[in-house]
Amino acid sequence: MRNLKSPLVLFVFAVVIYGILVSIHYTTSLFYQNGRRNFVRHQNTNLNVNQKCICKSEKTGKVYDFCYTDPQNYSSVGKKFDCVHVDTLERLEVLNYREPLPTASELIKNEEEIVFVSTSSDDHYQHSSKSYESVRKYYPNHKYILYGLHMSSEYIKRLPMDTNFEFRQFNTAQYPEYVSQWLQYRFKPLIMAEVSKEFPNVFWIDAHISMKQPNVVKTFFEEVATNRSSDDFSSITSFLDTGHSNFAVLFPELLEYFPSNSFPLLKMSEQVAAGIIHIPRTEHTLQIFKWYVLCALEEKCMNPPGAQIYCNFGPNRYETFANCFRFDQSVLNLLLLNQFQNPHKYFIKLNNYLG
């Protein structure tokens, strides 16, 4: 009897174990799938995200929405950006920032924290050193960082000797090769994102722009404190206007990525300069920067087919297309206008102070 019984017991035992294993396998894989689905849904509860717009990070497992949605119309969704850019956005901490970040009003308080940032290439050296001198005249001790665009050692040798001046050669190795085509201005959003990872209170000033009067920062801070309470205003602020509309310098292909709700508004609205802006590291800034940086990385976004910088303005610089594009500036303006619908929300006119 013993000899008969024991194979039977073993057989039953084996069947039971097999059953348990199979059911564990199905439960865990189902659980895993549901978990993933819920995570995607949860992250984007209010946005109605098309699953085709999702990019997943191989590094962190996080998922992101890579299609821009017009903030004024949630059914108006742009073309998807390439998921290869996830790594760069995570490296720049534009998507995966460590919370909590300060608010703009917390940052627009302490003048001492301001860091001036600019860029130059060899052929812009004259402008750049003039701009630097003008800043130093009024801000002798603030940190000033100059990013070099493949600047040669001959020019690097001539840079200021100043303990609060820092030169950094912009490292393009970690970006697509077209980032080194300087006339597409992709370097600007990328350097802005790099530097604001380190410094929460950046004052960006292009090589062509100089300070003409003292108290630029103080005037700006006072205007914010007096007239611009709350979240109604943009965290990113520009200080110079351009004398033309957004429409005049907008290559329409850009709208495939960033759809806009209103052509009349694009024609009416003044484009503001991206050559001098305040960039506080806040959540709102990073929400804009996500798209600004993605556009710089995507081949056809920052450089729509046929785009070029020389404008052919008609008698009206607002109503008609001048067949030119302002690259980083056109993109930043479109993002801010879509969000705020009014340039005064992201512009403080300091034309008397700067030029």
Ligand X SMILES: *[C@@H]1O[C@H](CO)[C@@H](O)[C@H](O)[C@H]1NC(C)=O
Q: Please calculate the CA angle 187-188-189 and round it to the nearest 5 degrees.
A: 100
Question: Of 87, 111, 223, 283, which one interacts with ligand X (CB under 6 A)?
Answer: 223
Considering only the stretches 11-19, 71-79, 102-110, 324-332, report the one whose residues sit in contact with ligand X under the rule CB under 6 A.
71-79
Distance CA 13, CA 19 (A): 10
Any contact of residue 73 with ligand X (CB under 6 A)? Answer: yes
Question: Of 3, 46, 163, 227, which one interacts with ligand X (CB under 6 A)?
Answer: 227
In whole angstroms, the minimum distance from the beta carbon of 338 to ligand X comes to 12
Any contact of residue 352 with ligand X (CB under 6 A)? Answer: no
Considering only the stretches 12-20, 31-39, 55-63, 219-227, report the one whose residues sit in contact with ligand X under the rule CB under 6 A.
219-227
Strand duo 63-65 + 54-56: pairing: antiparallel
Any contact of residue 76 with ligand X (CB under 6 A)? Answer: yes
Nearer to ligand X, 3 or 75 (CB): 75
Nearer to ligand X, 168 or 212 (CB): 212
Q: How many residues bind ligand X (CB under 6 A)?
A: 8
Any contact of residue 111 with ligand X (CB under 6 A)? Answer: no
Considering only the stretches 55-63, 144-152, 220-228, 283-291, report the one whose residues sit in contact with ligand X under the rule CB under 6 A.
220-228
Alpha helices in the chain (DSSP H): 2-43, 86-91, 104-107, 125-138, 153-156, 187-198, 216-227, 254-257, 263-268, 283-297, 299-302, 328-340
Any contact of residue 226 with ligand X (CB under 6 A)? Answer: yes
How many CB atoms neighbour CB 312 within 10 A? 10
Query: Residue 7: phi, psi to the nearest 5?
Result: -65, -35
Question: Of 46, 75, 153, 171, which one interacts with ligand X (CB under 6 A)?
Answer: 75
How many CB atoms neighbour CB 235 within 10 A? 23
Query: Among all chains, which residue has been given the structure tokens 């960082």?
Result: 145
Site for ligand X in 228-287 (CB under 6 A): 261
Query: Among all chains, which residue has been given the structure tokens 């992709």?
Result: 186
Angle, helix 328-340 to helix 283-297, in steps of 10 degrees:
140
Considering only the stretches 39-47, 200-208, 221-229, 329-337, report the one whose residues sit in contact with ligand X under the rule CB under 6 A.
221-229
Considering only the stretches 140-148, 209-217, 223-231, 305-313, report the one whose residues sit in contact with ligand X under the rule CB under 6 A.
223-231
Nearer to ligand X, 147 or 221 (CB): 221
CA separation (Å) from 118 to 158, 277, 341?
16, 11, 29
Positions touching ligand X (CB under 6 A) are 73, 75-76, 222-223, 226-227, 261
